[in-house]
Amino acid sequence: MILNRFLLIAFACAFVHAEAQNASTSKPNIIYILADDLGYGDLGCYGQTKIPTPNIDALAAGGILFTDHYAGSTVCAPSRATILTGLHTGHVSVRGNREVQPEGQAPLLKSEPNLIALMKKAGYSTGLFGKWGLGYPGSVSDPMAMGFDVFFGYNCQRRAHAYYPDYLWSNDQKVDLSANNGAQTATYSPIVIQEAALDFIENHAKKPFFMFYASTLPHAELAAPSDEIAEFSGIFGKESPYPGQPDPMKRKNGSYGGQTKPRAAYAAMVSHLDKQVGDIMARVEALGIAENTIIIFSSDNGPSNEGGGDPNFFDSNGKLRGTKRDLSEGGIRVPFIANWPGTIEAGSQSDHLSAQWDMLATFCDLVGVAPTAGDGLSFKPLFLGKPAPEHEFLYWEFTPGTPAKAVRMGDWKAIITYTAQNPEGEPALYNLRTDLGEQDDLSGANPEIVEQLKAIIAQEHIESKDFPFPNEQ
């Protein structure tokens, strides 16, 4: 009898040990949170002093903070395209915010790599919450066609300007938000999107999941619940009201609404985002899956001065020059934090050169599936405290407005702008190690480096009949 009891105890201990081993070696859940127009300097852990972000700061303190991570582009759609395809903007088909009426943006090509299909191949449940902007409803790259099991939010990034929309999408069906009809502001979209995201985590906690949380915060228009704006009211000096669009139907289709306290509203939006990150962290912890879940936080491009935004007041780009729509550092260098308890060393930091087209390769590496060919390199080894493959260079191009292309190679960064007066391009060259703010153009003193970087541009830019760029913004 005693022997039998001993054998039962030994078996139970072995079973528990085996279960623990399986949990520690199983495929990690991935939560990728992408803020919208959040600047490099908008978080406390990156130097922000006016807006508290305790939850995101805690995420960084418990994981790894990257100092040299870059967006795929300087506006929404192409940045997201680089994430989903692993192709930089010289190769991907979406290189600007091309609108499709009445709702949505130009789709990706069906032939391009598809991160979500790869996650499905690895056995992952997949969810998208927030803003899409990469294929109008029913197109070859709307969320359901891309392979998401669950989608809740905005298909169209133009309509995502409105925080009190009259409907959102649930998978391929519209969800009526009639409480927001006309000028009513009863249902704040980030709240209902957050509820759907937390439900997804709860419902998929027992098997591997990939969640792309594409938050609309803090993209203009500047809007938040009145009690949250009140928390910051009066502490930023005299406010200059932003008049905005008075017609509620035009606001719901992309025009920015007015805001009497734009600074307080922006701070409230960043604070709301921070609280939502804290809620996600708490839910993962409560479900007992924290050690098998990697939470990543980043942004799609630099800060914006649209809709009443005031990045200069908040030092939203830190020490960097430029904002959204620029290829200078302030337009494309973004925060990047990864937290994975028990795997990533808490309080670590990396100046590894990385970009959003690395995410496909990195995610594939995390889940154990071979990536499709692309421009990215996996930096998963950095999460394990090991060296990761290094890029020879990073490349961007942005054609709307004054066309420009940029290359970073080591400490050197070249930006070349193209005008009617100079169709060959006007180069500017900076050494980011000594001139992070890109103030001192060294192109005249280093013609050989300029030519080397121009050769990379000529090599990386491809044109095709499949890549028309009319009406980009």
Q: What is the CATH number of the domain that holds 317?
A: 3.40.720.10
Domain contains 4: no
**Tokens representing residue 283 in the block:** 């839910």
User: Do 455 and 372 fall into the same domain?
Assistant: no
User: Do 100 and 127 fall into the same domain?
Assistant: yes
CA distance 467 to 420: 22
- Compute and round to an integer the Cα radius of gyration of the chain: 23
CA distance 359 to 365: 10
Question: H or E stretch including 314?
Answer: helix 311-314
Provide the 3-class DSSP secondary structure of residue 164: coil
User: Do 445 and 366 fall into the same domain?
Assistant: no
Distance of CA 264 to the CA centre of its chain: 23
Q: How many domains does the chain have?
A: 2
User: Over its length of 473 residues, how does the chain's per-residue pLDDT go in tens digits?
Assistant: 333 433 333 333 443 333 333 333 479 999 999 999 999 999 999 999 999 999 999 999 999 999 999 999 999 999 999 999 999 999 999 999 999 999 999 999 999 999 999 999 999 999 999 999 999 999 999 999 999 999 999 999 999 999 999 999 999 999 999 999 999 999 999 999 999 999 999 999 999 999 999 999 999 999 999 999 999 999 999 999 999 999 999 999 999 999 999 999 999 999 999 999 999 999 999 999 999 999 999 999 999 999 999 999 999 999 999 999 999 999 999 999 999 999 999 999 999 999 999 999 999 999 999 998 899 999 999 999 999 999 999 999 998 888 999 999 999 999 999 998 998 899 999 999 999 999 999 999 999 999 999 999 999 999 866 655 444 44
Structural domain ending residue among the three candidates 344, 365, 391? 391
User: Do 267 and 351 fall into the same domain?
Assistant: yes
The answer to whether 323 touches 302, Cβ cutoff 8 Å, is yes
User: Do 263 and 154 fall into the same domain?
Assistant: yes
User: Do 436 and 349 fall into the same domain?
Assistant: no
Domain contains 157: yes
Domain around 252 = 28-391
User: Do 211 and 237 fall into the same domain?
Assistant: yes
Listing DSSP states for 91-124 in one string gives: TSS--S--B-SSS-BPPPPTTS--HHHHHHHTT-
CATH number at residue 428: 3.30.1120.10
User: Do 281 and 183 fall into the same domain?
Assistant: yes
Match 């606001």 to its residue by tokens.
Answer: 251
Domain contains 7: no
Q: Can you name the residues that pair with 428 across neighbouring β-strands?
A: 415
CA distance 317 to 253: 28
User: Do 336 and 356 fall into the same domain?
Assistant: yes
Match 């080894």 to its residue by tokens.
Answer: 381
User: Do 431 and 343 fall into the same domain?
Assistant: no
User: Do 184 and 330 fall into the same domain?
Assistant: yes
User: Do 176 and 266 fall into the same domain?
Assistant: yes
Q: Can you name the residues that pair with 358 across neighbouring β-strands?
A: none
Domain contains 92: yes
CA distance 134 to 142: 7
Residue 433, number of CB atoms within 10 A of its CB: 9
CA distance 51 to 264: 10
pLDDT the model gives residue 463: 83
Domain contains 5: no
Residue 439, number of CB atoms within 10 A of its CB: 8
Domain contains 468: no
Structural domain ending residue among the three candidates 357, 391, 425? 391
Structural domain ending residue among the three candidates 391, 424, 442? 391
> Residue 47 is which amino acid?
G
The answer to whether 368 touches 332, Cβ cutoff 8 Å, is no
Domain contains 89: yes
> Residue 221 is which amino acid?
E
Q: DSSP secondary-structure letter at 338? A: E
Instruction: State the pTM of this model.
Output: 0.94
Domain contains 87: yes
pLDDT the model gives residue 471: 40
> Residue 176 is which amino acid?
D
CA distance 73 to 269: 23
pLDDT the model gives residue 380: 98
Pairing label, strands 348-350, 209-214: unpaired
Provide the 3-class DSSP secondary structure of residue 385: coil
